[in-house]
Amino acid sequence: MRHDDGRKLDHKTLEAIRVRAVQRVMDGESPEVVIKALGMSRARIYEWLAAYREGGFDALKAKQISGRPKKLSGAQIRELYTWITTFTP
């Protein structure tokens, strides 16, 4: 059985898939059938349904990925760039 890797999809596409899958289950379709049609793991649909029950469709929206905070400010990066490009060792 093949499972699609959702990490390969952009966040807006994943959001649309989550909303559409939960809507199909709310319309009476079996969660097993819905997730099998999407080709993702079985546990995923139940995570989406739990999130929907907790916070509605807003809980299924894509969240901002923050990443690691920068160690240098913009001014420090500009100064470093200047040092590297204008001076020779």
Percentage of the chain lying above the pLDDT 70 cut: 93
Q: Is residue 41 part of a domain?
A: yes
Q: Would the CA dihedral through 49, 51, 55, 61 be positive or negative?
A: negative
Note the pTM of the prediction, 2 decimals. Answer: 0.65
Output the six-digit token pair for 70.
């920068």
Output the six-digit token pair for 76.
């420090």
Q: Work out how many domains the chain is built from and give that number.
A: 1
Output the six-digit token pair for 17.
């898939």
What is the arithmetic mean of pLDDT over 18-37?
A: 92
Q: Is residue 58 part of a domain?
A: yes
Structural domain range at position 55: 1-64
Q: Is the pLDDT of residue 1 over 80?
A: no
Give the H or E element holding residue 43.
helix 42-55
What is the residue whose two structure tokens read 């959702």? Answer: 6
